[in-house]
């Protein structure tokens, strides 16, 4: 039975089709069909997992039809296409997203109801595609949603990690990592394309030869082979008319053994080499831990780049005999530095494989590539040892050196005898061990470079790459990040979505600026009451989840104060805990009852090798253990840590938050898309003057956000003058002294004396690199202002509604429109 026959009817034009929603009976037929013929079972006998798979296969049929129709449309028009290269795509669960964007959620729910099954139970059976660490991967997923919704010809390229980011368990307050083999039970969304696999050479040597004309002709010899096998995931836009593709590559060994080893009689060693090749796509590396297995990480990055570029050239060559129009038909976006090897790989392909002159190939490479910088943190700015690149990718290193030679000649012509500038701008970092600076490679090899918030771009220009900004001032721009309202409002918060649509219509789903029409309803008592009631239902649901996760009882009438994100020193979960402990000590020692009851909700994962981040998790859980069991603060202060933070958990937390904490030290967070999701759902932000917080303040109004703390210039001046001395704060402020002494005591670790003394050592003795104490007093004052504001339900509801109404700028649709217009030069294909 063909789902196409059920899913589509002929359009008005000959040879075209227009999508229509599946009927309830058609859904039932399709589900029973797949239970029988895809899973070999009767629907009535299916397990919970089999029921999910049968429903997913039925939905996938509709996706595949529309995916093929989309590609037919593209081939007819031959548009310029975007290719988005990212090492991470944090997709989360797909079934609800696909049903919603296909506008088939209600018929599917009704079909399953008549078959004796609850759709929500089926949705819970889906394994989560956790192919990202956090914001970087989730942004990539949001961008794919927007590209498809807007009808843009855009493809994602990534790695098909067999093991996603680890599952997090909390054992006696400590993080324990468990493997996340998310594909172990099958993935109904992926379509394997073994016939489109690519051979990827690695290792070997370069032989310096001369061709028949006497020109230099380097030959990459004696390489080993990895096979990159693509797996396509359909990405459907809202309305279902465009289905683009995310292509994820798995590493496979070649079909042949190393015959020399085999002939020498070492069969096991030959097999081991095959297995080693396939480990390349086994596991997603957690952020902040690239020191471990650097060679494997380099191989992952090259697998992505090599396969993606071969695929891009293959697609282009199907319609074009020469490379004359390559840059006018192909746009390639590098999502951070991880795919920066694309600069060298595209040059290698154009020069070595297609015999283009160097100058022509270089002009084409720069015109095709663009680069998004996502971080200023030194540990995230990739540098590869020259010795490692020489071993793994010898021809690419040679090309990088040639790019550098020509580039430095250009710099020297503009700034003669400025040797220090040449040293800073070189692609090669000199030293005891030479390194290739991947940021510089991306900057040189791209025609456009962007930051992801106004402040971030300013810091890229002035701190990360000031010399490059001087050389190419027009190359740099801001493309403030955004999130998809389909996932983060329509799906995650159906109660609020229905309230909005019933009030102003549903055009906001694809034009988030339409939410501005909600502003007058802040004065509508009936709307405010409905808004407050809706939020309480969401908080009741989260309170139930909190109890199920940790047997902690919380009141939905308390202020839900949320701090959920990757655990890292610069994100300053420690600052939040400092304020909580200060509030606790004020209650038990000073008798000061807080203005409102507060539930502090934390979630996030720490990289396995990041000791301080893991100790912060232990601190949060230990502080919670003491406070939650102290009858003196029962119900007034509660601290909760929810384990295994992921997209599906965020979808339950975000709609219920009253306050979102975005308190990174100013100048360290590039954007902060979490704040956008929370504000879009009516949470009020408590934050520093960092990342996108400043732009959110400009949109929602200073009176509807709580910003505090030192700004970037003040921090820079403080550091330049050496005027920050944490012990001065300790001696001057008795509250800070009491707080730090509490960490040095055994108050929160009675069974593990001295467990948290590291906090005093890190903050007081090692210079407090993220300026916790410099911002603490302002933070405490701000939290008190928040509590006072929350005491007025009507006033707080106004703030929350205005946050929803004024977040239109932070849709990923707006971000994609800016990229498409100003960098990629692509158009919708309707």
What's the CA gap between 127 and 321, in Å, rounded? 43
**Residue 244: both structure tokens together:** 């683009």
- Which tokens go with 589? 């020692």
Q: Which of 60, 565, 605, 772 is catalytic?
A: 565
In angstroms, the CA 558 to CA 635 distance is 8
Q: Count Cβ neighbours within 10 Å for each residue of 749-779 and write b for 16 or more, e otherwise.
A: beeeeebbebbbebbbeeebebbbbbbbbeb
Tokens (6 digits) for 580: 């909580």
Gap between the terminal Cα atoms of the chain: 29
Three-state DSSP class for residue 620: helix
- DSSP secondary structure letters along 367-416: HHEEEE-----GGGS-EEEHHHHHHH-HHHHHHHHHHHHHHHHHHHHHST
The answer to whether 692 and 676 have CB atoms below 8 angstroms apart is yes
Catalytic one among 252, 329, 374, 395?
374
Integer CA distances (angstroms), 321 to 71, 331, 575, 771, in order: 20, 18, 60, 58
User: Who contacts 448 (Cβ-Cβ below 8 Å, separation ≥6)?
Assistant: 370, 371, 475, 477, 822, 823
Q: Are 165 and 605 in contact (CB under 8 A)?
A: yes
Name the DSSP class of 126.
Answer: P
CA distance 813 to 332: 19
As a whole number of angstroms, the longest Cα–Cα distance in the chain is: 90
- Residue from 349, 348, 224, 239 nearest 295 by CA: 224
Who contacts 595 (Cβ-Cβ below 8 Å, separation ≥6)?
A: 784, 787, 788, 790, 791
678 CB-contact burial (10 Å; exposed 0-12 / middle 13-18 / buried 19+): buried
Contact 80, 825 (CB under 8 A): yes
Given the residues 167, 396, 571, 614, select the one marked as catalytic: 571
Contact 537, 560 (CB under 8 A): no
Element of type H or E holding 269: helix 267-278
Query: Active-site residue among 621, 673, 688, 782?
Result: 673
Q: Which of 33, 566, 568, 809 is catalytic?
A: 566
The torsion defined by the Cα of 380, 386, 391 and 396, in degrees rounded to 10, comes to 90
Q: CA torsion 142→143→145→149, rounded to 10°? A: 140
Active site residue 673: yes
269 is known as an active-site residue = no
Locus of tokens 């701090």: 563
Of 563, 677, 772, 814, the active-site residue reads: 677
**618 a catalytic residue:** no
Tokens of 742: 């509490």
Catalytic annotation on 571? yes
- Whether 566 sits among the annotated catalytic residues: the reply is yes
**Annotated catalytic residue 374:** yes
- 745: DSSP letter: T
Query: 18: closest CA among 242, 233, 237?
Result: 242
- Decide if 249 contacts 228 (C-beta within 8 A): yes
Two structure tokens written together for 696: 């959110």
Q: Would you please indicate which residues are annotated as catalytic (active-site) residues?
A: 374, 565-566, 571, 673, 677
């Amino acid at each position: 039975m063909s789902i196409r026959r059920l899913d589509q009817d002929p359009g008005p034009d000959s040879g075209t089709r227009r999508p229509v929603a599946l009927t309830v009976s058609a859904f039932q037929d399709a589900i029973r069909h797949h239970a029988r013929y895809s899973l070999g079972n009767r629907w009535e006998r299916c397990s919970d997992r089999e029921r999910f798979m049968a429903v997913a296969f039925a939905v996938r049929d509709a996706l595949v039809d529309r995916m093929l129709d989309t590609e037919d449309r593209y081939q007819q028009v031959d548009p310029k296409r975007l290719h988005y290269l990212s090492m991470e795509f944090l997709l989360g669960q797909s079934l609800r997203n696909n049903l919603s964007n296909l506008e088939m959620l209600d018929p599917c729910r009704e079909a399953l109801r008549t078959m004796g099954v609850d759709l929500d139970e089926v949705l819970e059976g889906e394994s989560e595609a956790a192919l990202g660490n956090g914001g970087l991967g989730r942004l990539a997923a949001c961008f794919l949603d927007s590209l498809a919704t807007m009808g843009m010809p855009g493809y994602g390229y990534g790695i098909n990690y067999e093991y996603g980011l680890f599952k997090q368990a909390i054992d006696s307050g400590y993080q324990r990592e468990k493997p996340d083999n998310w594909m172990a039970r099958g993935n109904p969304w992926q379509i394997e394309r073994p016939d489109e696999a690519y051979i990827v050479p690695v290792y070997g040597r370069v032989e310096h030869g001369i061709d028949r004309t006497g020109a230099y002709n380097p030959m990459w010899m004696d390489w080993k082979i990895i096979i990159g096998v693509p797996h396509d995931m359909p990405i459907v836009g809202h309305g279902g008319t465009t289905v683009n593709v995310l292509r994820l590559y798995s590493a496979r060994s070649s079909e042949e053994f190393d015959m020399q080893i085999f002939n020498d009689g070492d069969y096991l060693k030959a097999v081991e080499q095959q297995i080693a090749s396939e480990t390349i796509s086994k596991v997603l590396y957690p952020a902040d831990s690239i020191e471990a297995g650097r060679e494997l990480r380099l191989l992952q990055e090259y697998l992505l780049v090599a396969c993606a570029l071969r695929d891009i050239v293959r697609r282009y060559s199907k319609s074009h005999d020469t490379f004359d129009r390559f840059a006018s038909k192909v746009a390639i976006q590098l999502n951070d530095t991880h795919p920066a090897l694309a600069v060298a790989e595209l040059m290698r392909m154009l020069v070595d494989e297609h015999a283009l002159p160097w100058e022509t190939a270089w002009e084409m490479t720069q015109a095709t590539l663009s680069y998004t910088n996502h971080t200023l943190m030194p540990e995230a700015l990739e540098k590869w040892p020259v010795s490692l690149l020489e071993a793994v990718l010898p021809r690419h290193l040679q090309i990088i050196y040639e790019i550098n030679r020509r580039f430095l000649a250009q710099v020297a012509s503009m700034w003669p005898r400025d040797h220090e500038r040449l040293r800073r701008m070189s692609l090669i970092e000199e030293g005891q061990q030479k390194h290739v600076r991947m940021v510089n490679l991306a900057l040189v090899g791209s025609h456009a470079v962007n930051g992801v918030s106004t402040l971030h771009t300013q810091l890229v220009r002035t701190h990360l790459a000031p010399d490059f900004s001087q050389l190419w001032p027009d190359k740099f721009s801001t493309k403030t990040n955004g999130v998809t309202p389909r996932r983060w409002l329509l799906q995650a918060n159906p109660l609020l979505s229905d309230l909005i649509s019933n009030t102003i219509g549903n055009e906001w789903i694809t034009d988030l600026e339409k939410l501005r029409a909600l502003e007058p309803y802040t004065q509508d008592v009936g709307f405010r009451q409905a808004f407050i009631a809706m939020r309480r239902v969401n908080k009741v649901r989260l309170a139930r989840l909190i109890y199920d996760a940790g047997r902690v009882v919380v009141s939905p009438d308390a202020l839900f104060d949320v701090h959920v994100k990757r655990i890292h020193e610069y994100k300053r979960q420690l600052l939040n805990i400092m304020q909580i402990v200060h509030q606790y000590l004020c209650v038990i020692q000073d008798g000061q009852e807080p203005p409102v009851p507060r539930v502090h909700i934390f979630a996030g994962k720490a990289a396995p090798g990041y000791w301080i981040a893991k100790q912060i998790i232990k601190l949060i859980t230990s502080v919670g253990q003491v406070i939650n069991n102290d009858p003196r603060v029962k119900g007034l202060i509660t601290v909760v840590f929810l384990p295994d933070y992921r997209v599906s958990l965020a979808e339950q937390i975000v709609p219920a938050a009253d306050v979102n904490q975005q308190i990174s030290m100013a100048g360290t967070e590039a954007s902060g898309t979490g704040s956008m999701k929370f504000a879009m759902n009516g949470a009020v932000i408590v934050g520093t003057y960092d990342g996108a917080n400043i732009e959110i303040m400009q949109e929602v109004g200073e009176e509807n956000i709580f910003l505090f703390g030192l700004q970037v210039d003040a921090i820079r001046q403080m550091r330049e003058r050496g005027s920050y001395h944490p012990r001065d704060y300790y001696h001057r402020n008795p509250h800070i002294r009491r707080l730090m002494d509490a960490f040095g005591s055994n108050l929160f670790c009675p069974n593990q004396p001295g467990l948290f003394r590291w906090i005093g050592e890190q903050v007081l003795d090692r210079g407090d690199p993220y300026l916790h104490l410099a911002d603490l007093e302002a933070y405490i004052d701000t939290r008190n202002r928040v509590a006072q504001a929350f005491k007025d339900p009507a006033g707080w509801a106004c703030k929350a509604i205005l946050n929803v109404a004024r977040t239109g700028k932070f849709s990923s649709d707006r971000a994609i429109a800016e990229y498409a217009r100003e960098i990629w030069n692509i158009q919708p294909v309707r």
